[in-house]
Amino acid sequence: MTIKQLFSSIYDRKPGVCVVICTALVVIILSVYIQTADHPFLNLDDDVYVTHNTHVISGITGENIMWAFTSGNASGNWHPVTWLSHMVDAQFYGLNPRGHHLTNVVLHTLSTVLLLLFLFRFTGSLWQSSFVAALFALHPLHVESVAWVAERKDVLSTFFWMLTLLLYAEYVTKRKPALYVLSLVTFILGLMSKSMLVTLPIVLLLIDFWPHNRYHHTEPLGPQISSLVREKIPFFVCSLITGVITIYTQQHAGAMQGLDTAPLTLRIENALTAYVTYIGKTLWPHELAIYYPYPLSIPLWQVACSLLVLIFVSTVTVREMVRYPFFMVGWLWFLVTLLPVIGLIQVGNQSMADRYTYIPVIGLFTMAAWGVPALTTGMRCRAGILALLGGSAIIVCTSLTWKQLDYWQNNIALCRHSLLVTTGNYLVHNNLGIALAEKGDVDAAIGEFRKAITINNNYFDAHYDLGMALSIKGDLEGAIRELQVALKIKPDHTWATYNLENFLTTQNLRSYTGK
């Protein structure tokens, strides 16, 4: 089956314009994101995924492939296809960050084109489809997923997400079993890139409603839903298996937070406010940071207002689902795809993350792209106004993304920007300290480690890093003290134990010799 046969309807509809728009998107994305080629690896997770990972560095081997499929490394994440992609990069580029960054950019570009083709193929609306694709390509919230090598899992899994959507949609149209099998295969590859794709079967049910229009309003809804769910049972089974594997590996790795650390009530409050915060950052992308600390408490008024917003929008979109189906589909796309990372099952210490919006905000973009024209029907100069609004939004997003990418030029710039837009950010203080120490400014690094400890005295990394920095300055007593505190937090940490024993031996030797 050729590409022309697979996307025959796309070729039949304005082929020249579609090719021009796809080409323009590719050129703009590469022009904006090409600057990441000069960015180094970061000291936050890039070491785990690439620079200090011997399995990745040594490239594709039988042993490394086996490790990729059995490892729960990197916060308990099971994503063998992501590991394999990093290994392939290391095979070709070694530890030159340029190639690793460009792979992310290429995957982001391909996902953008596939999104445009999917929307245009099945809605027939070229300009709305192009607007959604352009926002996906150039929104500053997506900088984190593309500019961060460790987030390869985001761009890779989304590439498979888009392929699955397109292949499944073609299956719905042509009813060819080969297309169904191919869509299931790409879905499995996506799950093995990032488990966040477990919600895709629900999204397939949503696109059955719109744009496929497989629900008939004159017939009982229950039997229709039952039939469409049965069609997707293999997809749901794959999601269930992946979910079980992910929960097991995350628990085994100690990445999953207990209720004593993050009580259920606080998780629900954080989830409600995070949903609305994500909407706010989509509409006005400002104060973006690599890490958002988990709050100790959330004001009741914020929780109540967030709940009211979610209830109001949900009610309106459901009530208008017959007249404006894209509102409900877009809204539920946003809500559902964020569920795995909204924090009800808390993994890590972050309250939210820009990278989590990579797929979900497509729902919001869809609501805007089809909703605004629908609500302005009959307006004078409507086409010109919509073109002006759409063009302005894309230009603003492009400029903000360019500016946001500048913060990612190195560890110090990224950490300092994050500290400017967040408070109580002990993790970023610590990572800034590491970056300053690597640059040779140990005194400044010590100051950052102490700030991290002041915010969170139970933070192992800060005590350990401060101990190592103090040892460089020759303060063995201080180094021993910090490593002893670190080992009270993580008693079985190998390197802390090893270094503490070395420092104690050196201190005893100095006492014995009087030096």
pLDDT digits 0-9 by tens, 99-140? 999 999 999 999 999 999 999 989 989 999 999 999 999 999
Confidence of residue 7 (pLDDT cuts 50, 70, 90): very low
Res 220: pLDDT:
82
- Calculate mean pLDDT across residues 140-145: 98
What percentage of the chain carries pLDDT values higher than 70?
93
- Calculate mean pLDDT across residues 447-468: 96
Confidence of residue 256 (pLDDT cuts 50, 70, 90): low
Confidence of residue 275 (pLDDT cuts 50, 70, 90): very high
**How far is 408 from 1, CA to CA, in rounded Å?**
42
Secondary structure class of 417 (helix, strand, coil): helix
Indicate the pTM of the whole model.
0.93
Do 506 and 477 form a contact (C-beta atoms < 8 A)? no
Res 514: pLDDT:
53
CB atoms within 10 A of CB 21: 20
Q: Which of 105, 87, 138, 90 is nearest to 36 (CA)?
A: 105
Confidence of residue 345 (pLDDT cuts 50, 70, 90): confident
**Per-domain residue ranges of the chain:** 3-407, 424-513
Do 306 and 275 form a contact (C-beta atoms < 8 A)? yes
Do 124 and 101 form a contact (C-beta atoms < 8 A)? no
Strand partners, 352: 292
- Is the pLDDT reported for residue 452 higher than 80? yes
Do 165 and 148 form a contact (C-beta atoms < 8 A)? no
Q: Which of 462, 475, 467 is nearest to 498 (CA)?
A: 467
- Calculate mean pLDDT across residues 283-300: 93
- Is the pLDDT reported for residue 6 higher than 70? no
372-412 pLDDT, tens digit each: 999 988 788 888 999 999 999 999 999 999 999 999 999 99
- Is the pLDDT reported for residue 183 higher than 50? yes
**What average pLDDT does the chain have?**
92
Of residues 327 and 5, more confidence is placed in: 327
32-74 pLDDT, tens digit each: 999 999 999 999 899 999 999 999 999 999 999 999 998 876 6
Report the CATH fold assignment for 424-513: 1.25.40
φ and ψ of 21, to 5 deg: -65, -45
Do 208 and 228 form a contact (C-beta atoms < 8 A)? yes
Strand partners, 350: 293
Confidence of residue 349 (pLDDT cuts 50, 70, 90): confident
- Is the pLDDT reported for residue 511 higher than 70? no
∠ Cα 145 146 152 (to 5°): 70
- Is the pLDDT reported for residue 11 higher than 80? no
Whole-angstrom CA distances from 227 to 173, 232, 382 are 16, 9, 41
Secondary structure class of 347 (helix, strand, coil): strand
| Residue 256 DSSP class | B
- Is the pLDDT reported for residue 17 higher than 90? no
- Measured in residues, the chain has a length of 515
Strands (DSSP E) contained in 116-260 are none
